[in-house]
Structure 1
Amino acid sequence: MPTCHGKPVGPGGFCDECGRRRVVPERRPVPSSARRGTESEATGDSEFRSLPEVDIPDPATLVLADPEYPVEQQVCGQCGGPVGRPYLGQPPLRHGFCEEDGEPFDFRPKLKAGERVGGQYDVLGCLAHGGLGWVYLAADSHLPDKYVVLKGVLDQHNARARRLAQVERDVLTRLDHPNIVRIVDFVAHDGDEYIVMDHVGGLSLRAVLRRPDLLRVEHVITYGRAILSALDYLHGEGLLYVDMTPNNVIHGDKRVKVIDLGAARKIGDQDSVAVLTTGYRISDGERRERGLTVRSDVYSVGRTLETLLDATPGADGNPGAESLRLVIARATAAYERRFTSAAEMSEQLDGVRREVLLQRPRRSTRFESTPELLDAGLGAVPGLAYWTEPQPEVFDTGRPEPAEAASRFPVPQPVPGDSPVETELTRARARIASRDPRGAERAIGRAEEALGTEAAYDWRIAWHRGLLCLADGNVGAVGQADRKFGEVRQAWPAEDAPKLAAGYCAEVLGDHDRAQRCYQSVWSRDDSQVSAAFGLARCLLRRGDKENAVSALDEVPGTSRHHDAARVAAVRIRVAAPVSQADLEDVVRRVPELFLDGESAELLKTFVRQAALDHGGTGGWNGGELLGDPVTEHGLRLRLERSFRRIAGLARDETQYGLLVDRANAVRPRTVT
């Protein structure tokens, strides 16, 4: 073991006697979660550039003129009771002894401007006070224009504070992450110990809260991703941060940095006394039952982001704010429902960021894409039954019935190592597709038995329960499905599948405003989710907004398997009542561009010609081969008669053939005899 001054060198590579680094500690591998993606993605560097620039003040101007520790935070290091409080008009005591146990206390700054610490660092004054000590600004006499921060123990008489300061030193000396402040030295001065850290110029997030002009929803997400990157690294090193608040994060000139690791401790350490900030800490009940865990760190990040989001002007008007609040809600939920890791929460924040910026999402790691289209005829060419069987008077917008829709949603990706549960859930989906809801119920029940108590918190169970409710088909069951899909969305706010399912349920329940918001949110950022485009078109069509309904379908890319269905749907929307000449002119342009076989092409032409005749689409304009040039009632009748006679040849029986011939005779132009 390396030694210095005849004593072993500490685990951080520093000598406890002189405080100098004597051994460069072995570089530990970065945790796998922190290595995900590029380094820029992991640390948020690429996102940092989207943040507004902040003025970096001269550090010397930040020194407190009259540093005083808040009286209400003066507590005894032994019993935790209040000490030094003002009495009968007397000023508070900054040093003395606890009246309960005689423990000494001293809340005065130890260093004064002009002192040189460790033979190298010239103190400029106090910057702030932390939970464990005063923070001083100093200039490095060995390097011009180099500022450092000295972190001392607040109360040298407080043994607990001294122990935690030692932990901070040992932790910081071996950490190497771009979003965590770097320690550069460790020195002693007049019997006190000080950590020397890089000075991180910029604004703390607490200061940003006082500058709402600096905050937008995407900025809150960027801060969160940077914090989580730092915490994910710490967790990979076997450490908890413990006390995350807006005070402990700096928006610098090049990067967001987490500072003040004074409360850090090893994962599993339940003996050390924790220093926690009210409003950002888990409940006392959770601490007693679970102790401090990775999930308690996640909780404090959630509360920090909630504070920032609440201060963001116009946040609730942002299309992604709802999803961000769902991420925060899960981060601050009960232990069992909370994100299990910083990386898991960061992944959801990335999805929400893409939603806010209308960027294409990354490929989902929880749902597989589906070839099924959430449509029941809007994108299909009308068949012969359209003319030979009774049809509803109101135009059919093409929403599939719940029992049919239940098998058309994306499928959850299997969880590795959980084959008993996955087998039953696969069986449940097969039963739902074959219209056997009772068999699906039994399969889901067996999956729940395999999960045991975890079934109540497993989103896969909620998803399949939602599908099962849809399979039942009645409106009451759809309401239950909506609640189950809501649970999945609360678990994974950035996923499209639960939002798509929520939109469908809202559509069935008649909440068309919510349905439109859900469909719009999915479609606006992912043009592979064509079911969302059809759902959005249906919602717009119900409002009589043909133009935007058609525009939504026109956005379906040519590479999509549903491109032709979207073009057919646009034609059907154009000829839905009321029909204008502009609608028909658009249809005349569209129909020749469709790639349809002979039978389908003739059926669609018949459909369009009848709509033109029924809605008076005449007036001498150029309708081309489809409607005639010029368009007249006589010409439309001749074309429609020929269309009915041609499609009559497709009839499956004599009855259907006769009905189509009758239609041909009924539309034939009358002749004068």
Structure 2
Amino acid sequence: MSAGVPICHGLPVGPNGFCDVCGHSRVATGTEVKPVVPSSQRRGTDSDLVGDSEFRSLPTVETPDPATLVLTDPKVPVDHQFCGRCGAEVGRPYRGQPALRAGFCEEDGEPFDFRPKLAAGELVGGQYQVLGCLAHGGLGWVYLATDTHLPDKYVVLKGVIDRHNAGARRLAQVERDVLTRLDHPNIVRIVDFVAHPGRGADGDDEYLVMDYVGGLSLREVLKHPELLRVEHVITYGRAILSALDYLHGENLLYVDMTPNNVIHGDKRVKVIDLGATRAIDDRDSVPVLTPGYRVSEREHQTHGLTVRSDVYSVGCTLRTLLDATPGASAAEVGTESLDLVITRATDDYERRFTSAAEMSEQLDGVRREVLFLRPRRSVRFENTPELLDAGLGTVPGLAYWTERDPVLGSGLPEPRVAASKLPLPQPDALDDAVEVELTRARARIELHDPRAADQAIGRAKELLGPGAEQDWRIAWHLGLLHLAEGDGLEPRKAAQAKSRFEAVRKAWPAEDAPKLALGYCAEVLGDRVEALRLYQNLWARDDGQVSAAFGLARCLLGATGKDEEERREHKEKAIAALDEVPGISRHYDAARIAVVRLRVAAPVSQADLEDVAKRLPELFLDNESLELLTTLVRHAALEYLRGGGAGGWHGGELFGAPVTEHGLRKGLEKSFRRIAGQARDEHRYGDLVDRANEVRPLTLR
């Protein structure tokens, strides 16, 4: 093994830095990394923890009196009765005879007994008085009892359904050993372990004594879908993942996560029923798996049960909840992102999240999307100082006026320019050689050398080997490469880039960089509805996403309105978005200039011109730039007046000159002569003087 390669569970850690067995990040130390961290030393990260504020956002559930939940006729369904040794069906009704709850397997003679072992009123362990059966599961009866040493305290006793089932007894032993050393707010707590005489001469039955968790299981919550919202599904998921991440850190797999095994109590979401829990490296124990929440048989045979199989079952649980949530519209970007998180959690083994913490981090980002909260700083993308704009936030230069039919551009940058302005991935210290090639690729993209960029990406793929197809960094750089290969606003290259950026978003649904890239691609492809949807999602949550604000403004201004009033409404929304750019932003001045340009864009109103006349003196501009913008405003005012739009404004003032055709012509003539002084060649100077002469007011001879 080469020096510096981290080892975990006896295997080399892959290029993504995560162990494929336990799912935890491993630093390159060159020595074996111990997979188990004592619970007393483990600390959850922010993305692992579900705070009280999140829990309080969940719907209030009624906690029924536990005594009312006791079953009146507790029976294991006949189709759940199997021999504990050979797995054959036992006790099935035959030729009109009723089903048997106790007896012997016809295949191997193994005894079975699925009847409850405890009756109401029995005292177990000299302390716990049984009230009756609460439920039955794959491994044991669950009884409700009171603790006679602590008044009004309910506890749960859990035994083995069929005491003759050696496998079930072993799993019960595992649950006892596991629970006695676990301490996590989202995992049910064991308080005792007791024995109680069984039937006949077979010896004692063993029971776990656990805290009673009052509330509803998520399966019961599903019966009240009106209580569910998208953010509730996320909170349930993060609570479950917090518990499972803790178990994984203790070198344990939960194995059998379903909505039945999560309780929404009055104070906490709790994971219960740890009877199927097993050590991460246990390849021998027979697993307890629930159809619909288990990985494929092919994956089970190839990889066994892993952290990723636990992630899969959480994904299935959340899918069940999301599908039942009313109003969970995929048109909402946040809901779409949650769907993508669940899709990745239930994807093929290679594409799935490598750990519970990794999935929880993405769910936290999606929660912030859904609730329009500011996102956390990305750990995968750098904050880019570049503004995705091609002129909307800049002062129009002299070239604008020397064209005979001047048109202000929309500000949409060409793809080859956008390729160098989109965010950059954070460097991965575990992949230095790969990072060098990707850095070369980006440098070549900025130099408009796509051929050399393609070669650098190819070398990075060779270094990654078979994992290159699953590496999101490769997909991101291929997206940038496709944009760099574009000529003008070529939609074909934008479509190719879009497919790459979609792959990145599927890998990291809560990241904002892929949404910005996809918004840009949609804009180039003419899909303003999709571009607006993505830009609005970004800008509503993060005033640092100024590129999204500019994209939003472009889309609104370019939207086809039914009439002038609707176009004016779009224009006001675009201006409102740019006005929200904070003063501390490096793009604040660009946003203010963009507002001036939008104000003088059709349709122009008196309110537009009055507003821009107030804004212009407040801009921090040099004299030349100020004069160029003043010229733009005076030209728009004259066109407005000549179009018959003066109205009650006629006779007012603009920059100290009267708002009359004579006054505006005189002011515009002065502006043209001033900016002509900025010309660096005789041809351009002559054009601007000609413009000044053309607008000069007529005088009497």
TM-score range (shorter-chain normalised) is over 0.9
**1:391-422 CA-partner distances (Å, limit 9, x unpaired):** 675x5211000000000011100112210000
- Output the amino acid matched with 1:457: Q
Using the TM superposition, give the Cα deviation of residue 634 of structure 1 relative to its aligned residue in structure 2, in angstroms.
1.2
* Residue 302, structure 1, aligned to residue 327, structure 2: no
Using the TM superposition, give the Cα deviation of residue 629 of structure 1 relative to its aligned residue in structure 2, in angstroms.
5.5
Distance in 2 of aligned mates of 1:300 and 1:618:
68
**1:600-632 CA-partner distances (Å, limit 9, x unpaired):** 100001011111212335345289764555411
Q: Report the secondary structure of 2:646's partner residue.
A: coil
- Output the amino acid matched with 1:516: L
Q: Report the secondary structure of 1:185's partner residue.
A: strand
Contact persistence 1:127–1:136 (CA under 8 A): yes
- What is aligned with 1:475? 491
Distance in 2 of aligned mates of 1:318 and 1:217:
11
TM-score by length of 1: 0.93
* Residue 80, structure 1, aligned to residue 87, structure 2: yes
Distance in 1 of aligned mates of 2:655 and 2:661:
10
- Report matched runs for 1:122-161 at 5 Å: 122-161=129-168
**1:102-160 CA-partner distances (Å, limit 9, x unpaired):** 33222211111011111111000011112201100000111101111011111111111
| Among candidates 180, 189, 199, match of residue 212 of structure 2 | 199
- Report matched runs for 1:356-435 at 5 Å: 356-389=370-403, 395-435=408-448
Distance in 1 of aligned mates of 2:651 and 2:104:
98
Distance in 1 of aligned mates of 2:555 and 2:155:
60
- What is aligned with 2:22? none
- What is aligned with 2:284? 271
* Residue 662, structure 1, aligned to residue 690, structure 2: yes
Using the TM superposition, give the Cα deviation of residue 477 of structure 1 relative to its aligned residue in structure 2, in angstroms.
1.8
- What is aligned with 2:507? 491
- Output the amino acid matched with 1:114: G
- Output the amino acid matched with 1:636: L
- Output the amino acid matched with 2:553: A
- What is aligned with 1:347? 361
- What is aligned with 2:549? 533
| Among candidates 113, 124, 128, match of residue 121 of structure 1 | 128
Distance in 1 of aligned mates of 2:445 and 2:142:
63
Distance in 2 of aligned mates of 1:449 and 1:314:
46
| Among candidates 206, 209, 224, match of residue 211 of structure 1 | 224
| Among candidates 533, 536, 553, match of residue 520 of structure 1 | 536
* Residue 563, structure 1, aligned to residue 588, structure 2: yes
* Residue 594, structure 1, aligned to residue 619, structure 2: yes
Contact persistence 1:621–1:630 (CA under 8 A): no
Using the TM superposition, give the Cα deviation of residue 230 of structure 1 relative to its aligned residue in structure 2, in angstroms.
0.5
TM-score by length of 2: 0.89
Q: Report the secondary structure of 1:507's partner residue.
A: helix
**1:199-224 CA-partner distances (Å, limit 9, x unpaired):** 01111111111111221111111111
- What is aligned with 1:615? 640
Segment drifting more, 192-201 vs 52-61: 52-61
Distance in 2 of aligned mates of 1:44 and 1:181:
17
Q: 1:435 to 1:27 in 2, by over 3 A?
A: closer
Distance in 2 of aligned mates of 1:204 and 1:627:
70
**1:420-455 CA-partner distances (Å, limit 9, x unpaired):** 000100110000000000000010011111111110
* Residue 646, structure 1, aligned to residue 674, structure 2: yes
- Output the amino acid matched with 1:325: D
- What is aligned with 2:32? none
Q: Report the secondary structure of 1:411's partner residue.
A: coil
Q: Report the secondary structure of 1:189's partner residue.
A: strand
Q: Report the secondary structure of 2:287's partner residue.
A: coil
**1:158-178 CA-partner distances (Å, limit 9, x unpaired):** 111111111111111100111
Using the TM superposition, give the Cα deviation of residue 81 of structure 1 relative to its aligned residue in structure 2, in angstroms.
3.2
Contact persistence 2:50–2:235 (CA under 8 A): no
Using the TM superposition, give the Cα deviation of residue 315 of structure 1 relative to its aligned residue in structure 2, in angstroms.
1.1
* Residue 28, structure 1, aligned to residue 44, structure 2: no
- What is aligned with 1:90? 97
Q: 1:624 to 1:43 in 2, by over 3 A?
A: same
Question: Which ranges of structure 2 fall in alignment gaps of 5 or more residues?
Answer: 1-35, 198-203, 560-566
Using the TM superposition, give the Cα deviation of residue 67 of structure 1 relative to its aligned residue in structure 2, in angstroms.
1.1
**1:281-336 CA-partner distances (Å, limit 9, x unpaired):** 11111000000000000011111111111111101165411111111111111111
Q: 1:490 to 1:475 in 2, by over 3 A?
A: same
Distance in 2 of aligned mates of 1:503 and 1:605:
33
Distance in 1 of aligned mates of 2:694 and 2:112:
103
Distance in 2 of aligned mates of 1:568 and 1:633:
26
Q: Report the secondary structure of 1:128's partner residue.
A: strand
Q: Report the secondary structure of 1:310's partner residue.
A: helix
Q: 1:173 to 1:580 in 2, by over 3 A?
A: same
For these two proteins, the number of residue pairs brought into alignment is 644
Distance in 2 of aligned mates of 1:340 and 1:423:
25
| Among candidates 448, 469, 476, match of residue 456 of structure 1 | 469
* Residue 60, structure 1, aligned to residue 103, structure 2: no
Contact persistence 1:618–1:633 (CA under 8 A): no
Q: 1:529 to 1:27 in 2, by over 3 A?
A: closer
Contact persistence 1:605–1:626 (CA under 8 A): no
Distance in 2 of aligned mates of 1:31 and 1:590:
58
- Output the amino acid matched with 2:686: G
Contact persistence 1:172–1:182 (CA under 8 A): yes
- Output the amino acid matched with 2:662: H
Distance in 1 of aligned mates of 2:289 and 2:584:
54
Contact persistence 1:216–1:312 (CA under 8 A): yes
Q: Report the secondary structure of 1:495's partner residue.
A: coil
- What is aligned with 1:169? 176
- What is aligned with 2:24? none
- Output the amino acid matched with 1:247: N
Using the TM superposition, give the Cα deviation of residue 82 of structure 1 relative to its aligned residue in structure 2, in angstroms.
2.6
Distance in 1 of aligned mates of 2:272 and 2:234:
19
Segment drifting more, 577-586 vs 513-522: 577-586
Contact persistence 1:622–1:628 (CA under 8 A): no
* Residue 235, structure 1, aligned to residue 245, structure 2: no
Q: Report the secondary structure of 1:481's partner residue.
A: helix
Q: Report the secondary structure of 1:609's partner residue.
A: helix
Using the TM superposition, give the Cα deviation of residue 86 of structure 1 relative to its aligned residue in structure 2, in angstroms.
2.8
**1:64-106 CA-partner distances (Å, limit 9, x unpaired):** 1111112222222223333222334433222222333333222
Distance in 2 of aligned mates of 1:133 and 1:625:
87
Q: Report the secondary structure of 1:181's partner residue.
A: coil
**1:624-671 CA-partner distances (Å, limit 9, x unpaired):** 764555411111110000000000000010000000000000011112
Distance in 1 of aligned mates of 2:482 and 2:651:
48
| Among candidates 577, 582, 594, match of residue 602 of structure 2 | 577
Using the TM superposition, give the Cα deviation of residue 574 of structure 1 relative to its aligned residue in structure 2, in angstroms.
1.3
Distance in 2 of aligned mates of 1:555 and 1:81:
69
* Residue 99, structure 1, aligned to residue 144, structure 2: no
Distance in 1 of aligned mates of 2:169 and 2:521:
58
Q: Report the secondary structure of 1:150's partner residue.
A: strand
- What is aligned with 2:77? 70
Q: Report the secondary structure of 2:430's partner residue.
A: coil
